[in-house]
Structure 1
Amino acid sequence: MLHNAIDAQALIDLKILLVIACVLLLSPYIAKLLKLPVSATEIILGALAAFFGFVGKSENFQLLANVGFYFLMFIAGMEVNLRLFFTMQKSIFKRSIFYIILLYLISFIAVSAYGLSLIFVIILPVMSVGLLSILFKDFGKDCEWLNLAMLVATLAEVVSIILLTITGAFLQDTTLFDVGLNLLYLFAFLVFCLFGFKILGILFWWYPNLRLVLMPWQDKNEKDIRFCMAILILVIITMILAHLEIALGAFIAGSFIATFFNHKKDLEEKLAGFGYGFLIPIFFIYIGSTLNLHLLVELGVLEDALYLLLAMIGLRLVCALVFLKKLELKNTILFALSHSMPLTLLIATATLGFNAKVIDFELYSALILTALLEAVFAMSLIKLIANFKKVTNEYKA
């Protein structure tokens, strides 16, 4: 009997590997044909594979997807040089803080007015930089609105994770001592990171050759890749032991590499090539496979998802007006849309609310569908708006 059970699970895993191979091979061509982002196409293909029974329940698949997500957050962190936070203009910093406060304030007013659960005060403004980092592949690192969007989203994600930690602690019926302990761990980790960056900055200033020892210019043994992976694994272990959000640790680990080892210009390209070519697509395929396409025929779920989609994007468009003078209209819209893809944190928040019985299964399903629709819709709309003038000129020509 045990032998048959192992065989059955092995067959499921083999089918999943076949799906992954096919999606990795075909998704770039399908994305080009449908004029969709590759990541959105991978989510759709994952959903279709699950719908037709090619993807079953597998802990191995989930583990590999989690690794892909942590690697995505690591790559996202490599887009952020933390020195920029210390040199950020005061006017930009003040607008960023006001933008984040405005997100939660308007959400609280809207939730109170419609008599919704208070968990929506966290759901509506929730933000994640995971998918935002993918836009750098299309727009480059010299894109002003995207660089600003990444900096602001980094601050907003830290706020989202802190609020999610607090909410999760209360909803799980833990004691005030446990809540305080979780917050203390989070605060201690952030303070440790801050002092760590300061100390390392002084250390590398006094001993600049230390960078070259850890990451030499030329190395046949790939010491730079090994060092990055070691840092990532150590941070993940630390976050697990402290019961903190692993994604936050992975992001900060990536920022550490970007801040202190920017002499290795090809490092991010090497890591991104492996990540976007293998690990990260597995995460998107897995996310797609968790969507039950039968829900699309449920009018209530689809209607709720569309309302949530419009509410979350509309909220960001309104709040992003604080940057209108800085970015002008088109880039302000792109800025707001880039913050409208909180895929993983939105799913995490929905799961938290459902497990705590704050929201029912229909609303939980609507939130999962919203997270996926946002990823597809926002990315597609960003590319459409950004390339609108170029497409128009080509059409006139």
Structure 2
Amino acid sequence: MINFAVGLLMDEHLSFIPLLTVVGLAFVVPLFLARFPQIPVVVGEILAGIIVGGSVLGIVHEDFTLALLAEIGFAFLLFLSGLEIDFSILTTQSPRSKNGATHPLVLATGSFLLTLMMASLVGFLLARNGLVNDPWFTALILSTTSLGIVVPVLKERGLNTTRYGQTILLAALLADLATMILITVYVAVFTSGLTFDILLIFLLFFAFMLIYRLGFGIIRRPFVRRLIEQLESATSQIKVRFALTILMTFVVLAEFVDIELILGAFLAGAVISLISRPEDRNLVEKLDAMGYGFFIPVFFVMVGVQFELNTLIENPSSLLLAFLVLLAAFAIKFSASLIFKLSFNWRETIAGGSLLSARLSLIIAAAAIGLRIEAISEATNAALILVAALTSTFSPLIFNTLLPPAKKEIQRRFLIFGAANLGIQVADVLMRHGEKVYFLEPDKSLGDLARDQGLEVIEGGSTRDCLEKAKVTEVESLLVMTGGDKLNLEVCKTAVSMGVESIVTIVNDPARLTEFTDLGVEAITPGMLRPTIIATMARNPDLFDLLTSTSDDRDIREVLVRNRALVGKPISELVFPGDSLIMTISRNGQMIIPHGSSRLEHGDRLTVAGTFDALKQFQQLVRNH
């Protein structure tokens, strides 16, 4: 078999040298651009392709192997774009708004409709002056944005959970999703005419809903999950195989109904995103590694290889077109984003327009389709690639310049007084939950033993001096874990007098329990704790697992409401991270089960369940003043 394959390659005169060149460039480009983090890697891959392509050095030319891998990379790009869609930003939006603020979904929809209108006007103006062939397809291309740039920029600035960030995310999501569908329909009409066969496109959406409904129910069955976990080994990788099967199924369906694979690949990623669970995050990492590690870089390098640089340089009209399209790309999004002024200030409005002006993956993919069906010329394709490179580089820079940096979140800190065995065991559990822990230990020998284990220990003089040195009033909670009740009580009294709000301690003698509880301290006796834990395990095993497990990314956390902008507003009108849930509200010693109409008050203590990322975002939102 191997000899046959080698003979076939020799007969067909196939060589892996061009592929080695492309893969080598994909490896070198990120290393080179590490010194220029403001330039997207995709832009560097395209530029590298231009250099080794026919426009400059002429080292690499398209052959069967590169064309096939680039096509797979194109499908993977759209597949991973669908996989990154967080549909919770659609489902978590309340239908109502308050204080005259326009709903984010209304703003996002209005922004896209204005974008489509402005892009259509630009397309017809360019066509009227003979600069483009197809005004409608040009309008659709100019209506795109780059969700892959919008999401990380907002996350980096801590804005993705705010009303402003949710509005920008929705606008980007609608732009990508709607233009994807419109381009698919337009290409089908362009190539086959307006026939009933166009209705076959809905076959893709039927398959999408069918797989979502069936997959959502089947995959969540316990025996199915156990089977999947058994087969998720180094050699089986059943989750990856399932995802790739879904991808190829939608690609084949798109081929069957005679449309471009762009929508099929995107829907495949979206359905995987919908049916996956938080513990399937490693699947996304593996698919990202496959796509961005090999196939997608080949696609972008080949985009550069096929780039007609000479057409752009030698033809003055092409340079004029590139300049006009660049201006139009910013003007369209800035104009459409003026609707954001209904809810935000001018600085936020203009910044939002600049970020939405970023175009990268989708505009390049759409340009490749337009070039293939001859809806756009080589000059237009070159202009659009240049626009993608420039907007994806400068749009985030403009956004970051217009909006001041978000305040960095201060990590929660827990202070443990007493570095004996129990204190170290508690610290180990807290640290495995991702918390920051440090110790106060009056006994130098115990402190040294804790340091030998890599723990941070603070020493001082008196109890008050130690607590002041540790800035005890700034910690999330003080845990008093010394071996004696007398010392524990002394530390608790001192901490209460200093204004520490959350204190937890261990009480060895149950007869002294009231001395601690009268101080408002959460006191635990070992004898009382054991039956409570056993009863909890028996009555609520899943809840106990959620509280104690450190092997996944789920947790329960209590958060104090300090953000006065949230006070007095119903929970249904607030935008919280999609993977978080308010379980209870503690107020003035009472436990409240929240409903959509429940209103938050300053000082409420919320018990929240969710993923680590969602809890981090939730905590930042309710604590910001």
Q: Structures share a fold, TM > 0.5? A: yes
Q: Structure 1 residues 152, 383: CA separation in 2 closer, same or farther (over 3 Å shift)?
A: closer
Letter in 1 for 2:105: F
Cα distance in 1 for partners of 2:326, 2:30 equals 26
Provide Cα deviations, 1:359-378, integer angstroms capped at 9, x if missing partner.
6xxxx123211221122112
One-letter code of the match for 1:30?
F
2:373 maps to 1:352? yes
1:52 aligns with 2:64: no
1:313 paired to 2:330: yes
**TM-score of the aligned structures, taking structure 1 as reference length:** 0.80
Alpha-carbon spacing, 1:120–1:175, altered in 2? closer, same or farther (3 Å)? closer
SS in 2 for 1:124: helix
Aligned in 2, Cα 1:190/1:88: closer, same or farther, shift over 3 Å?
farther
Letter of the 1:348 counterpart: I
- Per the TM alignment, residue 340 of structure 1 is displaced from its structure 2 partner at its CA by 6.5
Per the alignment, residue 224 of structure 1 pairs with 239
Q: How far is the alpha carbon of 1:170 from its aligned partner?
A: 4.4
For residue 34 of structure 2, give the secondary structure of its aligned residue in structure 1. Answer: helix
Matched, 1:71 2:73: no
Q: Where do 1:188-203 residues align within 5 Å?
A: 188-194=203-209, 196-198=211-213, 200-201=215-216
| Equivalent AA in structure 1 for residue 134 of structure 2 | I
Unmatched 5+ stretches in structure 1: 393-397
SS at match of 2:141: coil
* Structure 2 residue 120 is the aligned partner of structure 1 residue 108: yes
Partner of 1:379: 392
Q: Residue 335 and residue 211 in structure 1: after superposition, are their counterparts in 2 closer, same or farther (change >3 A)?
A: farther
Q: Normalized per residue, which structure has more helix? A: 1
Give the count of matched residue pairs. 374
337-346 or 227-236, which moves further after superposition?
Answer: 337-346
Residue 267 (str. 1) matches residue 283 (str. 2):
yes
- Alignment partners' CA distance in 1, 2:121 and 2:144: 25
AA partner of residue 310 (structure 1): L
Distance in structure 1 (CA, Å) of the matches to 2:331 and 2:11 = 46
Find the counterpart in structure 2 of residue 16 from structure 1: 18
Q: Offset of 1:43 from its aligned partner?
A: 0.2
The partner residue of 2:269 within 254, 262, 287 is 254
CA distance in 1, matches of 2:306, 2:344: 40
- The Cα of 1:266 is off from its aligned counterpart by 2.1
Alpha-carbon spacing, 1:274–1:138, altered in 2? closer, same or farther (3 Å): farther
Alignment partner of 2:183 out of 147, 164, 168: 164
Q: Which amino acid aligns with 1:62?
A: A
| Residue pair 1:69, 1:283 contacting (<8 A) in 2 also | yes
Offset, 1:257:
1.9
Displacement of 1:139 in angstroms is: 6.0
The offset of 1:49, in angstroms, is 0.3
Which of 197, 207, 210 is the equivalent residue of 2:224? Answer: 210
Equivalences for residues 332-347 of structure 1 within 5 A: 332-339=352-359, 342-347=363-368
The secondary structure found in structure 1 opposite 2:104 is: helix
1:304, distance to aligned residue in structure 2 (A)? 0.9
User: Is the contact between residue 115 and residue 143 of structure 2 (CA under 8 Å) also seen in structure 1?
Assistant: no
Offset, 1:193: 2.2
Partners of 1:232 and 1:127 lie apart in 2 by 27
Quote the Cα distance in structure 1 between the aligned partners of 2:165 and 2:11. Answer: 46
Deviation at 1:138, TM superposition (A): 6.6
1:245 pairs, out of 237, 244, 260, with: 260
Offset at residue 84 of structure 1 (A): 3.8
CA deviation after TM superposition for structure 1 residue 64, in Å:
0.3
Is residue 308–residue 370 contact of structure 1 (8 Å, CA) maintained in 2?
yes
Whether the 8 Å contact between 1:216 and 1:223 is mirrored in structure 2 is: no
Distance 1:244 1:210 in 2: 34
Note the C-alpha offset of 1:23. 0.4
Among 119, 131, 139, which residue is 2:134 paired with? Answer: 119
Task: Kindly state the Cα deviation for residue 71 of structure 1 after the two structures are TM-superposed.
Answer: 1.1
Alignment equivalent of 2:339, drawn from 289, 308, 322: 322
Residues 158 and 218 (structure 1), Cα distance of their counterparts in 2 relative to 1, 3 Å cut: closer
CA root-mean-square deviation: 3.5
Matched letter for residue 343 of structure 1: I
Give the Cα separation in 1 of the matches to 2:13 and 2:151: 38
Deviation at 1:252, TM superposition (A): 1.6
* Displacement after TM superposition at 1:40 (Å): 0.4
Residue matched to 1:287: 303
| Shift, 1:211, TM fit | 4.3
Where do residues 126-137 of structure 1 align in structure 2 (5 Å cutoff)?
A: 126=141, 132-133=147-148
Aligned CA distance change for structure 1 residues 338 and 147 (closer, same or farther; 3 Å): farther
In 2, Cα distance between the equivalents of 1:169 and 1:88?
Answer: 34
Q: Offset at 1:61?
A: 0.8
- The letter of the residue matching 2:367 is L
| Contact 2:338 2:350 survives alignment (8 Å) | no
Calculate the TM-score normalised by the size of structure 2. 0.53
Q: In 2, are the aligned partners of 1:64 and 1:279 still within 8 Å (CA)? A: yes
Hey, what's the Cα distance between the residues in 1 that align with 2:174 and 2:74? 19
Structure 1 residues 105 and 351, CA gap change in structure 2 (3 angstroms): same
Could you tell me how far apart the structure 2 residues matched to 1:60 and 1:72 are?
Answer: 18
SS at match of 2:291: helix
Name the CA distance, whole Å, in 2 between partners of 1:302 and 1:108.
21
Distance 1:190 1:291, change over 3 A: same
Q: Which runs of 5+ in 2 are unaligned?
A: 1-7, 96-102, 406-625
TM-fit CA distance, 1:307: 0.7
Name whichever structure is richer in strand by fraction.
Answer: 2
1:395 corresponding residue in structure 2: none
Give the number of the structure whose alpha-carbon radius of gyration is greater.
Answer: 2
Residues 128 and 233 of structure 1, relative CA distance in 2, 3 Å threshold:
farther
> Is 2:186 aligned against 1:181?
no
**Do the aligned residues in 2 keep the contact of 1:320 with 1:335 (CA within 8 Å)?**
no
CA separation of 1:331 and 1:265: change in aligned 2, threshold 3 A: farther
1:21-100 residue pairs with structure 2 within 5 A? 21-35=23-37, 36-50=39-53, 51-90=56-95, 91-100=103-112
Structure with larger RCO (C-alpha < 8 A, sep 6+): 1
- Change in Cα spacing, 1:89 to 1:48, as seen in structure 2 (3 Å) is farther
- 2:58 match: secondary structure: coil
Displacement of 1:339 after TM fit?
4.5
